[in-house]
Structure 1
Amino acid sequence: MKKEWKYLLETPYHLEEEDVEWVQNTIQDMTVKEKAAQLFIVMNDKKEEDKVKEFLQDYPVGGIRYRNMEKEDVMLQNQMFQKYSKIPPFIAANCECGPNEVYKGAPFIATEAELGAAGKSSWANQAGAASGEICREVGVNWTFSPIVDVYLNGKNTIVNSRSYGDDPDQILELSKAYIQGVHEHPVLCCAKHFPGDGVDDRDQHLVMSVNDQSCEEWDQTNGKVYQELIDEGLETIMAGHIALPSYCKKLNPKLTDADILPATLSKELLQGLLRKKMGFKGLIVTDASHMGGLYGTMPRQELVPRVIEAGCDMFLFAHDMEEDLNYMIQGIEKGIITEERLQSALEHILGMKAHLGLHKKQGHSRDTASEQVSRQYAQIEEEIADGAVTLVKDVKNYIPVNPKESPKVRLYFLTNAPETRLQKGNPVKEMVVEELERAGFQVDVNESLYEMEEKEVSPGNIPKIMKKPSIREFRESYDVVFIVVYMHGYSKENSVRVKYSFEHSNEIPWFNCEVPTIGISLNFTNHLYDLPMLKTYINAYAPTRACIRAAIEKAAGKSEFKGKHNDTVWCGRWDTKV
């Protein structure tokens, strides 16, 4: 065995010599096309066996990710990808909130912000264990989680509810527990988004975002998290389309601002900081290559091979598979990707596959999870929601509101506009109404312009959404107002803000000083930035029945608030606190 292969016997690979020989021999037997294709993880939409077989013959890729599908379809597809791959592939899923994205109907456990508010590592561990179990059930062997971004900018909505919070020590505690849970099953974890999102308030899906921390600040926050996870054996890291100018310039003083590139293209960050300074020996994968933060850097023909040459080992997704594969092959043939760098990337890829034992059990998947297990995870979801829902603000002591003494509720539900004309109704709003009524309230629901237009497109809808009753009438009609906010999504705008369905809408809290008003967020934690006038505000962290029920029951005084918030909820403003 060559000396340079010895690291595959060590953390995080822990291979036996026979496994290293498989890695060596496999790489030696690969054609240039096979080597180039092995660098890709692609998004799969093929279910028919003949199409899967044909695709893998044309493009012998290193891994796949797929869109949320029925459980049976996922299992069959993954079995086919193992069956027809010459080298067993990675099969990846996003398990940021538990295994809910592995297949339709899989359990949702909790958002990372919810786990951060609850603050119990045992719950993070259970979220990881659920993810690992459900992944292995259908043949998934890699989860692109946990997210370990240190959330420092209260105006950022890209990672907001997807981050454990602003405390590096708590992030380490929860991410370690999550990883330990996943590792109860032979599934890889991937910490993301190196070098750290949550500092800029812009979305790397749309633009290269910038982590503008100093080297010292980074070492104490994001760097601290990554270093400790690396030291504990972290297998894979996802590089974001996020720049870190301070370290780039420290490691290469000749760089100007115009030379700064995102981590995915930065030798300084990948090879200088992550590999050399921090000692990471595992696999580096890019974040999605169709994101604006990468597209905006250079022509795709250049960036495809340069991502690998910079230090990434795998390239996530393709703009056009035939075109991108040709770009990668050309990059190899022209020497943009050096022989040494290509060899290293393939060693990391195959070494991690051997770490999973994929070379010994190709085609392996199993179906062992039962309805009983799913019920167990549903119970965990409820327990976490009870421990996480947070009373951020109650300066006028509106909480608790007793439904027997104050039964008459007016509900304003603020959410995004429908994305297509096919979108009818709002199941989250329906759950809110059901849970308010379940708690004993009499609910009168305000209609948004979207809902009016869904029923009937009419010029009369605009004056209707702007119309407000007299103050006297409103105060006589309602004891309390609930304004429930479910703004969601990213990759459409850089920061998702509270929006009303029309200008001068009756949804704007004109009633806040007239009737006790309680705000509840079902997603982002930073809505006080747009709703500072609210005197009572609750963060519920997720649009699930468990979180909605917990928030309403706690508002009604049926159970205590247990969750903790951090200072990012104030968005750096004094007026959000009063």
Structure 2
Amino acid sequence: MVDLSRAPFSLDDAAIAWVNDTIASMTLDEKLGQLFINLNVSFDEAYLDRIVSGYHVGGIRFMGAPSPAVQEHIRYAQSKAKIPLLVASNPEMGGAGSIDDGTLVTTHLGAGSSPDPDDAYRLGYVGGRETEALGCNWAFAPIVDIHRNWRNTVIGTRSFGNTADIVIERAKRYFDGLSESHTAAAMKHFPGDGVDERDQHVVTTYNTLGYDEWNETYGTVYRALIEHGVQSIMIGHIGAPELSKHFRPEMTDAEILPATLAPELVQDLLRGELGFNGLILTDASMMVGMTQAMKRSDAVPAAIAAGCDMFLFFRNPDEDLRYVREGYENGVITPERLEEALQRILGLKASLGLHVMEPESLVPGREALEVIGSDEHRAIAASVSDNAVALIKDTEGNLPLRPETHKRIRLYGITGQSDFTGTDPSGYLDIAREELERAGFEVHVFKNALQRQAEGEENVYFHTVMGDEANEAYPEKYDAAIIFANVAGFAQEATVRIRWSTPMAAEIPWYVTEVPTVFVSLFQPNHLVDVPMVKTLVHAHAPSREAIHAAVEKITGASAFTGTFNENVWCGDIWGTRL
């Protein structure tokens, strides 16, 4: 059984006794419920009563909302729990992403691009403090994937970089910052994303590295972070054919499964060779990367049997609980495997001290929310952004652009669709205009055909807009063009690229031959595949006020570029990206 006295639990005799006594006192339904982390899609109390008291879940994750509502939601959930809940958050970019009013510090890539490793610490510090104020105690971070394939956009901004060394250095510092709060970490996504170019949300993806190369790269990362004390690991719906066949040489290609369902990866590799003693959980169970592999009724118990201790999100709680019970009754999940999973679940709770906390102290008071979006955290975001903004190229020497020499700016916004979070993807453009005007520019914002039609303009089409925009008067009206691109998103497509507003849209940088043109990416690092004609490209990493302000400061020469970048920006050296 599990040695809870060992890292990362490091429990004393009293805490171990609480774990074992609690398990012994539980009914089978209560034991099976502990295996699940529910995605709370409602803040209604009757809903929470059913989830927490009825299904006996071990943990919850909530949908984004303003921080006061989230905190009260968590407070009520904990009040209904017989055993304290693990409450998860996703502080990948700071407080943003977990709550509507959280501080957006930067992305993982932004922290990896800063010359200061401690900016990764600051990212984890802000994320941990802001989610702890809500009552969260478990972070689904850091992300320790290696961005080896420039076409991979699901972790393009969510990885610290393209080498094991940078990922190890920055992930450790992130973990250290996160650990300043009362929060356990769950690094992800084992066995490692970033080799396949696709997104496991919509298709099973594969880490195809051989056993030796995997150990020299991803394996090195996992060994380093396990030794550093990370408490839990999230398993991706990512197959690893060469690794699976290393442990099961008789396996056929058709038998290769995503790691969440593959005991040779979870037990033989992660538990065995890597020696991980902490809690293991699946990634979200509705991802097609998992659901395409086998029937749901088989997959639910199979994930636990494979070595995952917790199952992330119900599809239908009554069905999923029935499936796991049937799996237990028919022997797919043995009593020993269930006991082991429960020891690790309760062991993680005890390692956080939840077992000795009074129920009313599991969630801090309303005053704790003052840290969210605080002046201190906004100052950290500004400092990190200033460090991270990178000049990828300026082959024509367009910079600096100053109001004294390039007063009239044509401003373009390249915007992706709003993703599943519902966040407005176009709010950055008003910020960009305001920051440019504050710097002294006269800003003229371009509107595409769809925007003009939405405002009631008649007889406007993509070719009429091009006719209006693209003529010999352009350089007489504008001294320079600046494009801000906020093309984000994952979980809805296998890759993310620029989608122009219309065919032959007037915002496409045809004007690079007419006036100095600067392209500023607020998210993806791989835009040169779509805009190789741009001679000046800046990566600001985030659509925040702080990042946009820092980018404008550097474009005007008011401060120096200090951010770094890796070879992925050249998009595999597609012809023209470096010109």
TM-score (norm 2): 0.95
Identity among equivalent pairs (%): 39
1:61-80 correspondence to structure 2 within 5 Å: 61-80=57-76
What is the CA–CA distance in structure 2 between the aligned matches of 1:105 and 1:423, rounded to whole Å? 12
What is the CA–CA distance in structure 1 between the aligned matches of 2:576 and 2:299, rounded to whole Å? 45
The letter for the 2-side match of 1:386 is D
Shift in Å, 1:370: 6.4
Which residue of structure 1 lines up, in the alignment, with residue 386 of structure 2? 386
1:202-217 correspondence to structure 2 within 5 Å: 202-217=198-213
Cα 1:569–1:210, aligned 2, differ >3 Å: closer, same or farther? same
Is 2:415–2:426's contact at 8 Å kept on the other side of the alignment?
no
Which residue of structure 2 lines up, in the alignment, with residue 486 of structure 1? 486
Which residue of structure 2 lines up, in the alignment, with residue 257 of structure 1? 253
What is the CA–CA distance in structure 2 between the aligned matches of 1:457 and 1:347, rounded to whole Å? 65
Which residue, out of 339, 364, 367, partners 1:366? 364
Cα deviation digits, residues 361-419 of structure 1 (max 9, x gap): 15222135464771101001001111110000111111111221111111221112467
Shift in Å, 1:201: 1.0
Is 2:481–2:515's contact at 8 Å kept on the other side of the alignment?
yes
The letter for the 2-side match of 1:30 is M
The letter for the 1-side match of 2:364 is R
What is the CA–CA distance in structure 2 between the aligned matches of 1:96 and 1:281, rounded to whole Å? 24
Is 2:148–2:195's contact at 8 Å kept on the other side of the alignment?
yes
What is the CA–CA distance in structure 2 between the aligned matches of 1:343 and 1:105, rounded to whole Å? 40
Cα 1:537–1:88, aligned 2, differ >3 Å: closer, same or farther? same
Which residue of structure 2 lines up, in the alignment, with residue 187 of structure 1? 183
What is the CA–CA distance in structure 2 between the aligned matches of 1:238 and 1:425, rounded to whole Å? 28
Cα deviation digits, residues 28-79 of structure 1 (max 9, x gap): 2222211111100001134343442343232100000001122222222212
Q: Report SS of the residue matched to 1:385.
A: helix
What is the CA–CA distance in structure 2 between the aligned matches of 1:506 and 1:145, rounded to whole Å? 40
What is the CA–CA distance in structure 2 between the aligned matches of 1:219 and 1:231, rounded to whole Å? 15
Is 1:424–1:454's contact at 8 Å kept on the other side of the alignment?
no
Cα deviation digits, residues 213-272 of structure 1 (max 9, x gap): 122221122111111111222100000011111111111101111111111111111011
Cα 1:327–1:453, aligned 2, differ >3 Å: closer, same or farther? farther
Gaps in structure 2 of 5+ consecutive residues:
none
TM-score (norm 1): 0.95
Shift in Å, 1:556: 1.1
The letter for the 1-side match of 2:481 is V
Is 2:115–2:562's contact at 8 Å kept on the other side of the alignment?
no
Q: Report SS of the residue matched to 2:475.
A: helix
Cα deviation digits, residues 109-140 of structure 1 (max 9, x gap): 21111111113222221222222222222211
Cα 1:141–1:209, aligned 2, differ >3 Å: closer, same or farther? same
Which residue of structure 2 lines up, in the alignment, with residue 174 of structure 1? 170
Is 1:159–1:197's contact at 8 Å kept on the other side of the alignment?
yes
Which residue, out of 284, 287, 294, partners 1:291? 287
Which residue of structure 2 lines up, in the alignment, with residue 569 of structure 1? 569
Q: Which deviates further from its counterpart, 211-220 or 282-291?
A: 211-220
Q: Which deviates further from its counterpart, 80-89 or 366-375?
A: 366-375
Q: Report SS of the residue matched to 2:496.
A: coil
Q: Which deviates further from its counterpart, 24-33 or 34-43?
A: 24-33
Is 1:83–1:362's contact at 8 Å kept on the other side of the alignment?
no
The letter for the 2-side match of 1:263 is A
Which residue, out of 249, 274, 281, partners 1:278? 274
What is the CA–CA distance in structure 2 between the aligned matches of 1:466 and 1:182, rounded to whole Å? 49
What is the CA–CA distance in structure 1 between the aligned matches of 2:376 and 2:537, rounded to whole Å? 31
Which residue of structure 1 lines up, in the alignment, with residue 444 of structure 2? 444
Kindly indicate whether residue 569 of structure 2 is the aligned counterpart of residue 543 of structure 1. Answer: no
What is the CA–CA distance in structure 1 between the aligned matches of 2:455 and 2:314, rounded to whole Å? 41
Which residue of structure 1 lines up, in the alignment, with residue 25 of structure 2? 29
Shift in Å, 1:312: 0.6
4+ residue stretches of structure 1 with deviation over 4 A?
370-373, 417-420, 422-425, 468-471
Which residue of structure 2 lines up, in the alignment, with residue 529 of structure 1? 529
Q: Which deviates further from its counterpart, 447-456 or 334-343?
A: 447-456
Q: Report SS of the residue matched to 1:359.
A: helix
Is 1:520–1:540's contact at 8 Å kept on the other side of the alignment?
yes
Which residue, out of 282, 304, 308, partners 1:308? 304
What is the CA–CA distance in structure 2 between the aligned matches of 1:142 and 1:419, rounded to whole Å? 24
Which residue of structure 2 lines up, in the alignment, with residue 153 of structure 1? 149
Q: Which deviates further from its counterpart, 498-507 or 73-82?
A: 73-82
Gaps in structure 1 of 5+ consecutive residues:
none
Cα 1:143–1:425, aligned 2, differ >3 Å: closer, same or farther? closer
